[in-house]
Amino acid sequence: MHNKIDVFVHFVWGTSGRAKTMVGKIERTVKAAVATKCSELRSPALAIGGTDDHMHLLVRLHPTVAVARLVGEVKGASSFAIAVVGDRCDFGWQAGYGAFSVSADDVRAVESYVLNQRQHHAHNAILTELETTGEP
């Protein structure tokens, strides 16, 4: 018998001090590092988005990977990529994060929300419950 387990998680976390550093080459480097690390952890990134000062990530979490491990390794790998590729030793992430389970029925809606972050924030059309980063 083969088990099928689909656990979808939406993550959100901010840059250190909410610095507006997620632009251009840095944003592209971060997104590539996040996608690569998710793949390495067998937890495919379904959507990666954000704005200048925070990131959103929607994944299908592998059953053997803990939420804290995934977000910790993703944040670490992307920070390292910026320090090496982006040559920015001042780049960093906040200590905390938000993580929200997503039902299979809501995956497409959350995916759209994540991918269109810049537009949502530009038009003040954000969903507050999906923006909690774990900061006080």
Domain ranges for the chain, please list them. Answer: 7-130
In the numeric block, the tokens 């959100």 are attached to 12
- pLDDT tens column, 10-20: 999 998 888 88
Contacts with 28 (C-beta within 8 Å, 6 or more apart), sequence order: none
Specify the CATH number of the domain 7-130: 3.30.70.1290
Cβ partners under 8 Å of residue 1, min gap 6: none
CA distances from 21 to 25, 29, 42, 110 (A): 10, 12, 28, 24
Q: What is the pLDDT of residues 84-124, one digit of tens each?
A: 765 656 778 999 999 999 999 999 999 998 998 766 555 55
Q: Quick one: average pLDDT of 74-85? A: 87
Percent of the chain scoring above 90 in pLDDT:
51
Q: Which two tokens stand for residue 22?
A: 């997620």
List, edge to edge, every strand of the sheet that includes 98-102.
45-51, 54-61, 7-14, 98-102
Contact 64, 81 (CB under 8 A): no
In this prediction the pTM is 0.85
**Burial grade of 122 (CB within 10 A; 0-12, 13-18, 19 or more):** exposed
- Residue 129, phi-psi category: left (phi > 0), alpha (psi -120 to 50), beta (remainder): alpha
> In the numeric block, which tokens belong to residue 6?
């689909």
